[in-house]
Amino acid sequence: MSVPLHGIIAEYESAEELLHAARRAREAGYTQMDAYSPFPVHGLSEAIGFEDHKVPWVVFISGVIGAIAGFSLQYYVSVIDYPLNVGGRPFLSWPSFIPVTFETTVLFAAFGAFIGMLALNGLPQPYHPVFNAPRFERASQDRFFLCIEASDPLFDRVKTRQFLENTGARLVSEVEE
């Protein structure tokens, strides 16, 4: 009985090797891949073709909602529910509403960033198939990994393994589901 394959993973010793391999894989036409590194590698997300820009939009929309909520709350209290004539100023004195509006904008944007990042990244993720790859625990210490997933249109078990071996990988292994 054949075990379903998640992909093929290659181990590298340096960030430069990983970046070079990721660029070569992208040039070869692979689109479904992921890279794992103990620290951020400049240019790696572009090399693997990651162009997901949803979190900034979630933060922006959350901030706008926060601004509207803060201003609306002050408007409701000062103009509709409990209007007080203080020193002859108008009920809708918008300059005095700015500090609270700004703070609710920042608060909602911060919550949007936190919750949006968790939700869009699929976190928390207590299990992923690459966790079973040999020596993958070193991905958080001193090794770099590139995994080409079996869902990639160009994926072929033998050819993909040979391709990764030709990129200078120290170890290439299959990752089961």
DSSP line for the chain? -PPPEEEEEEEESSHHHHHHHHHHHHHTT--SEEEE-SS--TTHHHHTT-----HHHHHHHHHHHHHHHHHHHHHIIIIIIS----TT--S--HHHHHHHHHHHHHHHHHHHHHHHHHHHTT---S--GGGGSTTGGGGGTT-EEEEEETTSTT--HHHHHHHHHHTT-SEEEEEE-
- Band of pLDDT at residue 169, cut at 50, 70 and 90: very high
- Residue type at 162 in one-letter notation: Q
Q: How many domains does the chain have?
A: 2
Do 74 and 109 fall into the same domain?
yes
Domain boundary among the residues 120, 143, 163 is at 120
pLDDT tens digits, 72-124: 999 999 999 999 888 888 899 899 999 999 999 999 999 999 999 999 988 88
Q: What is the pLDDT of residue 143?
A: 94
* Alpha-carbon dihedral sign for residues 134, 135, 137, 139: negative
Domain span at residue 135?
5-52+130-176
- Asked if pLDDT for residue 1 goes beyond 60, the answer is no
- Same domain for 106 and 137? no
Cα separation, 84 vs 37, in Å, equals 59
- Please report whether residue 70 resides in a domain: yes
Q: Report yes or no: 130 and 14 within 8 Å, Cβ to Cβ.
A: no
pTM summary value: 0.77
